[in-house]
């Protein structure tokens, strides 16, 4: 099984030993960030620094002139990834024989929301989520589609992995996050992630729902949750809180919005890419889920992209729904966290990978080679060799 490790440009640039260390893990591919959200990241082996603070979402290469005159455009990185940081790191990694694929984060951008607040998801209470661009808005969709094409198809890249290509909602580890005081559960998360910006209000109306009445229904449904009532039960819980017909109508609007954006973004990448360029999506097989692993319909997404990257840490993950719709050439990449401090278990990677293979996985992903300790990397290397 082909294995790739995630890595940031700042893990590689300025550390001449980084490419060889990555190749020595036993991986054939590096999935290298080309467009990424704000973060604070450890670099435990870098000779010049130990912590990198990426202050805002940015492209890690020089953007081209397609953005001239546009209000929504990608932001350049600061001193954490200056110039063509992606290109420099990609060249170093390729020099060790590694195949390099881009890693592109799309609908997750707090600076965009801060500077263009009208682009953000707005919940039923009128609160904006600045980290979550609303993917129903035409200008935002155009921005995300062009960003996907530009950031994915970097010189020398053999493929891309598109993260956050779908709805983002309430659940997000924002700075000093303090949102865990009430257990919202799956159903509460869905209701708190429904967007009521002008584009979504028009969308609900087009589905036959009065957006004002829908907002009232969401707030009424959530009131017992704020008082401590459970809101679990998956989609059945959403139907219980909101009513079956209303719940299904909101989901139809959101599913269609996400599906058409995924189709447009993948088509834009393919139009810009050379023949044989691989396009994968980070995905969750439950279409109403929000986040970095965007909720998708498995049959649909595998008819659009070459495959998916699926989170599998702590178990087999949601591989089976994708395996049911896989073609012989479909890529099902099982993504395992190998950083012990982030809940990973690199020592059990061989057993975990075997289970994933039995459930249909065709490739492995290791998150994250730059963040892992030396002990974690040693354990992962031994596990891969045993597997």
Residues 185, 240, 193, 249: what is their CA dihedral angle, to the nearest 10 degrees?
Answer: 150
**Section 300-328 average pLDDT:** 93
Is 190 inside a domain boundary? no
Q: Which domain holds residue 331?
A: 2-178+279-386
Residue 178 confidence (pLDDT) above 70: no
Is the Cα torsion angle 201, 217, 133, 365 positive or negative in sign? negative
| The predicted structure's pLDDT at residue 231 | 80
Summarised one tens digit per residue, pLDDT across range 32-62 is 999 999 999 999 999 999 999 999 999 999 9
The token pair that represents 127 in the structure block? 């609160």
| The predicted structure's pLDDT at residue 179 | 65
The token pair that represents 220 in the structure block? 């009424």
Radius of gyration of the chain measured on its C-alpha atoms: 21
The answer to whether the predicted template modeling score (pTM) of the entire model surpasses 0.75 is yes
Q: Is 206 exposed, middle or buried (0-12, 13-18, 19+ CB in 10 A)?
A: exposed
Is 218 inside a domain boundary? no
Summarised one tens digit per residue, pLDDT across range 264-308 is 999 999 999 999 999 999 999 999 999 999 999 999 999 999 999
Block residue for tokens 């260390």: 21
Residue 229 confidence (pLDDT) above 90: no
Is 118 inside a domain boundary? yes
Is 258 inside a domain boundary? no
**Section 220-226 average pLDDT:** 93
**Section 221-244 average pLDDT:** 91
Is 300 inside a domain boundary? yes
Alpha helices of 95-230 — where are they, by DSSP H?
Answer: 110-115, 138-152, 185-193, 198-206, 211-226
Count of domains forming the chain: 1
3-state secondary structure of 140: helix
Is 186 inside a domain boundary? no
Note whether 108 and 56 are within 8 A (CB).
Answer: no
Residue 220 confidence (pLDDT) above 80: yes
Q: Is 150 exposed, middle or buried (0-12, 13-18, 19+ CB in 10 A)?
A: buried
**Section 59-84 average pLDDT:** 98
| The predicted structure's pLDDT at residue 175 | 72
| The predicted structure's pLDDT at residue 380 | 97
Residue 182 confidence (pLDDT) above 90: no
Block residue for tokens 């263009």: 116
**C-alpha to C-alpha distances, 336 to 172, 188, 210, 234, 348, nearest whole angstrom:** 20, 28, 43, 24, 10
Q: What is the mean pLDDT of the chain?
A: 96
Residue 322 confidence (pLDDT) above 70: yes
Residue 180 confidence (pLDDT) above 90: no
Summarised one tens digit per residue, pLDDT across range 103-154 is 999 999 999 999 999 999 999 999 999 999 999 999 999 999 999 999 999 9
CATH, residue 166: 3.20.20
Integer Cα distance of 88 and 72 in angstroms = 26
Integer Cα distance of 110 and 131 in angstroms = 4
Is 149 inside a domain boundary? yes
**Section 15-29 average pLDDT:** 97
Residue 312 confidence (pLDDT) above 70: yes
Is 232 inside a domain boundary? no
The token pair that represents 244 in the structure block? 């079956």
């Amino acid at each position: 099984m082909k294995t790739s490790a995630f890595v940031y440009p700042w893990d590689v640039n300025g550390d001449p030993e980084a490419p060889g260390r990555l190749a020595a893990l036993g991986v054939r591919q590096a999935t290298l960030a080309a467009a990424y959200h704000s973060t604070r990241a450890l670099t435990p082996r870098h000779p010049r620094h130990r912590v990198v603070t990426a202050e805002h979402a940015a492209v890690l290469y020089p953007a081209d002139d397609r953005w001239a005159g546009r209000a929504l455009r990608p932001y350049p990185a600061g001193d954490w990834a200056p110039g063509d940081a992606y290109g420099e790191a990609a060249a170093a990694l390729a020099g060790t024989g590694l195949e390099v694929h881009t890693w592109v984060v799309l609908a997750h951008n707090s600076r965009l929301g801060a500077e263009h607040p009208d682009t953000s998801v707005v919940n039923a209470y009128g609160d904006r989520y600045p980290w979550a661009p609303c993917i129903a808005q035409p200008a935002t969709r155009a921005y995300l589609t062009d960003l996907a094409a530009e950031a994915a198809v970097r010189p020398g890249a053999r493929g891309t992995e598109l993260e956050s290509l779908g709805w983002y909602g309430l659940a997000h580890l924002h700075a000093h996050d303090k949102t865990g005081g009430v257990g919202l559960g799956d159903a509460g998360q869905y209701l708190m992630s429904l967007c009521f910006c002008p584009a979504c209000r028009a969308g609900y109306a087009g589905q036959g729902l009065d957006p004002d009445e829908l907002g009232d229904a969401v707030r009424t449904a959530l009131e017992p949750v704020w008082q401590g009532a459970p809101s679990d039960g998956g989609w059945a819980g959403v139907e219980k809180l909101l009513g079956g017909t209303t719940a299904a109508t909101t989901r139809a609007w959101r599913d269609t919005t996400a599906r058409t954006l995924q189709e447009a973004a993948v088509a834009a990448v393919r139009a810009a890419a050379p023949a044989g360029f691989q396009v994968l999506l980070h995905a969750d097989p439950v279409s109403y889920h929000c986040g970095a692993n965007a909720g998708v319909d498995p049959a649909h997404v595998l008819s659009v992209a070459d495959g998916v990257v699926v989170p599998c840490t702590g178990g087999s993950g949601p591989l089976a729904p994708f395996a049911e719709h896989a073609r012989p050439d479909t890529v099902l990449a099982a993504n395992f966290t190998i950083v012990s401090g982030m809940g990973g278990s690199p020592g059990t990677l061989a057993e975990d990978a075997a289970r994933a293979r039995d459930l249909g996985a065709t490739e492995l992903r290791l998150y994250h080679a730059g963040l892992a300790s030396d002990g974690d990397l040693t354990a992962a290397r031994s596990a891969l060799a045993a597997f």
